[in-house]
């Protein structure tokens, strides 16, 4: 039995303030996992960054500015391999419910690269279609796009190794707001 008010209409409960963080391999465009993060209810959604450029070691933190909370954090190693430190772990790809009808790809102007440094690296050519195809069948992606159709699809390329970094170790992180 559903909850309803006196008029017989179903009650609408406010949705939580969630951000979906999804990981897609840079070279294969394979969905590798993700995490739904819940934050205090605040107005707006701005991603800010704290970037400590690697001499030998560095790190990057992406923050949900209005909530003053971390979305992603990872180490960066010159001529080595850093690691994601927040979230501590991602849910594996098989744990995500899928839908039979893929979510349509947003317009190109709805994609936004997360700018974290004037020296931040992004490929000259980005295959947005392949990245979207990796996640378009996820139920959560569909729900987020239905609930917040005008939200930006934020893309962040995590490069845990730089200098002689290996692109096979690099991953896209797609950040969606509900």
Q: Which of 84, 70, 83 is nearest to 37 (CA)?
A: 70
**Structural domain spans, the chain:** 31-177
Tell me: the pLDDT tens digits for 57-92?
999 999 999 999 999 999 999 888 999 999 999 999
Say what the pLDDT of residue 15 is. Answer: 63
**H or E element, residue 146:** helix 139-147
Query: What average pLDDT score do residues 100-127 get?
Result: 93
68 Rama class: left (phi>0) / alpha (psi -120 to 50) / beta: left
Q: Which of 121, 113, 175 is nearest to 148 (CA)?
A: 175
Tell me: the pLDDT tens digits for 116-157?
988 778 999 999 999 999 999 999 999 999 999 999 999 999
What does the radius of gyration of the chain's CA atoms come to, in whole angstroms? Answer: 18
pTM: predicted TM-score of the whole model, two decimal places: 0.89
Collapsed DSSP state (helix, strand, coil) of residue 171: strand
Distance separating alpha carbons of residues 162 and 117, to the nearest angstrom? 14
**Model confidence at 9, in pLDDT bands (50, 70, 90)?**
very low
The tokens of 24 are what? 């897609």
């Amino acid at each position: 039995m559903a909850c309803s008010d006196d008029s017989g209409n179903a009650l609408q409960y406010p949705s939580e303030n969630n951000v979906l963080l999804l990981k897609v391999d840079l070279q294969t465009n394979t969905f590798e996992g993700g995490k739904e993060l819940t934050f205090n209810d605040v107005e707006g959604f701005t991603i800010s960054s704290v970037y400590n450029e690697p001499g030998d070691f560095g790190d990057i933190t992406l923050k949900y500015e209005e909530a003053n909370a971390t979305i992603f954090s990872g180490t960066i190693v010159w001529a080595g391999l850093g690691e994601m430190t927040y979230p501590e772990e991602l849910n594996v790809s098989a744990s995500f419910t899928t839908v039979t009808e893929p979510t349509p790809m947003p317009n190109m102007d709805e994609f936004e690269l997360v700018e974290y440094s004037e020296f931040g690296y992004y490929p000259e050519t980005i295959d947005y279609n392949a990245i979207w195809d990796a996640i378009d069948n996820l139920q959560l992606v569909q729900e987020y796009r239905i609930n917040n159709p005008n939200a930006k699809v934020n893309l962040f390329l995590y490069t845990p190794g730089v200098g002689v970094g290996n692109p096979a170790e690099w991953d896209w992180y797609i950040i969606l707001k509900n």
